[in-house]
Amino acid sequence: MSQALPYRPDIDTLRAAAVLSVIVFHIEKDWLPGGFLGVDIFFVISGFLMTAILLREMSGGGGRFSLKAFYIRRIKRILPAFFAVLAATLIGGFFLFTKDDFFLLWKSALTALGFASNLYFARGKDYFAPAQEEKPLLHIWSLSVEEQFYFVFPILLLLVARKSPRVQFGFLAALCALSLAASFMPSAFDKYYLPHLRACEMLVGSLTAVWMRYRQQRNLAVGRCCAAAGALFSACILSACLFAYSEQTAYFPGSAALIPCLAVAALIYFNHYEHPLKKFFQWKITVAAGLISYSLYLWHWPILAFMRYIGPDNLPPYSPAAAIVLTLAFSLISYHCIEKPFKKWQGSFAQSVLWIYALPMLILGAGSFFAMRLPFMAQYDRLGLTRSNTSCHNNTGKQCLWGDTEKQPELLVLGDSHADHYKTFFDAVGKKEKWSATMVSADACAYVEGYASRVFQNWAACRAVYRYAEEHLPRYPKVVLAMRWGSQMPENSRSLAYDAGFFQKFDRMLHKLSSEKQAVYLMADNLASSYNVQRAYILSSRIPGYRQTLRPDDESTLKANARIRELAAKYPNVYIIDAAAYIPADFQIGGLPVYSDTDHINPYGGTELAKRFSEKQRFLDTRHNH
């Protein structure tokens, strides 16, 4: 059996500071720019407590050490409230989200069930995903990092458990140094979520536990005045970091994270000793907040994400206060009705895994899977309001032929998702005009020779588009280029798809293509909406009184379209196709939305645009397309 460490209310105060910092930051970043450091505070605390408990058990101070017993404690501590939040989030997403967004929520839930959320988000956001602040399970990444650390760390600690504290300290310091060094290495993934870069923060807590154990073994104490001064100074440093740090802070995670992490470690160390200021770190209200900090962290983000998903036009001015009240209410219920009862669970390791992990995971995973196939969700597929089947998009291994497929394809369509979303348009127009087109596209993949994209996670698919074009472009007499031109404007230079020399490279490619092809067609891009069009339509049918203003809000696309018109005018056989001109200002035709999000045309929209386009002009009739 394990022998628990003496209870320290000051650590619960630290937990309270951590979770409240995160909540304030998530409500309004400007209020506490470094509030995200609350997660790092949690990491240091976790590293300290885990190491202190494990060393106590491994050295014989708490009885025979058992990995099974360790993991049973983790299962009882983490999973019950976690599954409650996961279930509530999936239910809320089912009733509020579009089918496309619910599918992405389901994917993030699956990775959360496998404690791999951080790896899912580290790959970069899904190209069609909602904004980060609208992803209800985004915050689970930190829980995944901790669990990954808990899987590996006890095994590593066993290697030095019976060694001297100096050896233990040196071993952990070396691991911390490796983690820190890795933060300086380039990565194709978002470093913020990577476990080996966050390990250093938990190892700072581990080193604190070893150092305190070393001093205790030698009966070395810290004087009252020294402990008070150290605690006060550390608290001031940590507070300063919470206000001075921001999302733009360099070398974070990495060396910049050391300052707040060391401040937390120092607070843990100095508050271990008696000193005159210790009572200020043991206030009842902060200790109480610390006790429910896990539930507060779990519940606050889904509540905020759902509110933001609904949209600003439908939220009252007091919504931040409402979010706080709801978070507190759900957290108190979660703590008293879920966390505390399950801590008393006396089941074996197998029973704990089965009843607290495997069974809830099976129910949530299967339930969400079948929920997407219920008529409630499937109706939007039938209407063509969700994204079109993208089996050919990001996959050049399949034949993607649209239009009159009995005809030999004479058009090759190349581009990104703003080419792919015209599939039903090309299919309908091609059938009417008796021609066919092959479409090859990939997310964030502008087709231009020498294009320098920074969207690394999708670069393989983009390279496949280029390879296909290199091999097959000569056999097509005509080529169509469609992409999100606005992403190449200087005001979007922070976009990973941005290439500063794009239009110069594009001009050179047009010069080459115009001399080789009968015709080159450039699709003028469609304007983005101020809000997710499909979401506004669906929420208006689910929430009484829901109203969301939709308007074109895309100055960069207007500028980019003007730019490609200038380039097209330089060459006699380069033509502009402006199918987007037939999109109404409210983004609806026949009372249904023509976008699947803010800027991607859905299958229904593509078909309706084809009808309007064909009433006025023909695609291959160059007389109307300059």
* 5-55: pLDDT as tens digits: 789 999 999 999 999 999 999 999 999 999 999 999 999 999 999 999 998
Looking at residue 273, its amino acid is: Y
Tokens at 473, concatenated: 């472009």
Mean pLDDT, to the nearest integer, of 147-171? 92
Confidence of residue 63 (pLDDT cuts 50, 70, 90): low
Quote the CA–CA distance of 372 and 557 in Å, as a whole number.
34
Whole-number pLDDT of residue 458: 66
Residues linked to residue 529 through DSSP beta bridges, in sequence order: 552
Q: Which helix (H) or strand (E) holds 607?
A: helix 603-616
Whole-number pLDDT of residue 447: 87
Whole-number pLDDT of residue 52: 93
Residue 623, pLDDT above cutoff 60: no
pTM confidence score: 0.86
Please choose, from the candidates 535, 195, 204, 180, the residue with its C-alpha nearest in 3D space to the C-alpha of residue 387: 535
Quote the CA–CA distance of 414 and 521 in Å, as a whole number.
11
Whole-number pLDDT of residue 625: 54
Whole-number pLDDT of residue 161: 85
* 113-130: pLDDT as tens digits: 889 999 999 886 555 566
Quote the CA–CA distance of 169 and 163 in Å, as a whole number.
10
Whole-number pLDDT of residue 383: 63
* 348-406: pLDDT as tens digits: 777 777 777 777 778 877 777 777 677 666 666 666 676 665 567 877 655 688 999 99
Q: Among 29-33, 313-317, 603-607, which is the least confidently predicted range? A: 313-317
Contacts of 517 (CB under 8 A, 6+ apart): 476, 477, 478, 479, 573
Whole-number pLDDT of residue 380: 67
Q: Among 126-130, 139-143, 292-296, 356-360, which is the least confidently predicted range? A: 126-130
Q: Where are the domains of the chain?
A: 9-373, 383-624
> Residues of the chain with pLDDT > 70: what percent?
91
3-class DSSP state of 295:
helix
Mean pLDDT, to the nearest integer, of 427-445? 93
Confidence of residue 316 (pLDDT cuts 50, 70, 90): confident
Cis previous bond, 603, omega within 30? no
Tokens at 133, concatenated: 């602040």
Structural fold of domain 383-624: Rossmann fold (3.40.50)
* 222-251: pLDDT as tens digits: 889 999 999 999 999 999 999 999 999 989
Whole-number pLDDT of residue 1: 40
CB–CB of 554/527 below 8 Å? yes
End-to-end alpha carbon distance in the chain: 81
